[in-house]
Structure 1
Amino acid sequence: MAGIWRFLGAVVVSLALVGGGSVAAFAQEREQILVFAASSLKDVLEDAGAVFDQTHNTDTEFSFGGTQTITRHVVAGAPADLLVTADDAWMEYAVRNGVLVDDSVVELASNGLVLVGSQELDAMPVELEPEALQAALANGRLAMGEPETVPAGRYGKDALINLGLWESVAQRVAPVENVRIALAAAARGEVPLALVYASDAQVEQGVRVLAKIPQDSHDPIVIPGALTSVHSKSGVEFLEFLKSAEGQEIFRVHGFKVSGD
């Protein structure tokens, strides 16, 4: 029996030596970070979280949804460390409701809009003219975020109005809860056209870009992030990481524009 205890003691000492510190430090639990974020940011934030966790004692988790939905959840008291939205209007709503740390709101990146169609169905490029758009739709519909509540839908409607295209498609719009639903519908060929973020088109191999929406046809599409009033210390560090050169490069790789582009 004494031999077993000596063996176990040796294992403990070995673990302490390998870890370069105490057994308590070796066994320290990883701190959880919870980020509420817009669906359009799923790929970039999951990649950023994985990179961050490699060099920190953290497990970064995400709750994705429509910007309007996740913001309302945070306002209602959801225990998130960070809020990252697809536009600044909903971030301002959270600010007005007093659930964010004062002066913590920061612009992380920006985005653009594109029209996409199914890669499998060999969708062809579309000119941004009423007749061409109607011809491309044929008997189908244009999937896009709900214009009254979803940021991508609001930006999209403004762009179509300013380009003189809204009246030609208004009755053919299929409004959806978030832009990723519109993207998936186009990829599956359920709709001939979808209006989505440029970054979405880059990550979905099932679609091809049929037209780029001019940047000056809508307000700038800003991606803001902020700390909530119940944030952890690691939440502060993750927001700083997203603002760093390494974090910004991850946004750039995923098709977003960052400061300096």
Structure 2
Amino acid sequence: MPFSLATWNINSVRLREALVARLMAEEMPDILCLQECKSPVEKIPMDRFRALGYHHIVARGQKGYNGVAILSKLPIADVGGEDFAALGHARHVAARLENGVTIHNFYVPAGGDIPDRDANEKFGQKLDYLTGMRDWFHADRPRKSILVGDLNIAPREDDVWNHKQLLKIVSHTPIEVDHLGAVQDAGAWVDVTRKDIPDGLLYSWWSYRAADWDAADKGRRLDHVWATPDIANAAHSSRVLRAARGWDQPSDHAPVFATFDL
């Protein structure tokens, strides 16, 4: 049976509980991966989500910061969560479906505003986190796996509104792109979104700072869906739900979808 999957940096699952419920009711993905939940696991509003069919959750929570959750209509088993770069942050969780597919949900550090690890500790933490991911996947090459999340890097020139202007802006600097590429290579991950939508500008994030985000359209593709080569060809129907960025009191990220025939 095919299953649909969505990934969304929700920027507080409790503050935006109604938006999560709306997505569940209107789009009905079988699996919804959330990042930046900003909530302990026990305070995620699961009663409302269960009423919409999402009876299963695997999550790592943190009060006020970070936090990742996998909500599912399908049974899932908790298969761990790594603390890359030993930051003590809830940024990774993994779950396994009954068909053996493992889903990794990541929230990579944003990295602050200055792309220099000597001048900005957060940028160094971001690079170290990505290096930890690389080494982990290199040591244990994933199989039958999907990786999703807010990776906080727009790797391609057409993943940002202006490649030249953003080359020195955190999320699109060459060193970040290289680090993300090393993670991708270590797991032989296939960028499912770009497999399905190979050409053209594509964004999943628009800053709150824009007076009219939609008209300005200065976006970046920070949210990703990857798969290992053994199942990547089963993925299709990728899309970004841009409209969600315009919902009432929205996250600055839009959900990214894919369907897998597995």
TM-score (norm 2): 0.30
| Greater fraction of residues in helix | 1
Larger radius of gyration: 1
With CA pairs under 8 Å and 6+ residues apart, which has the higher RCO, 1 or 2? 1
TM-score (norm 1): 0.30
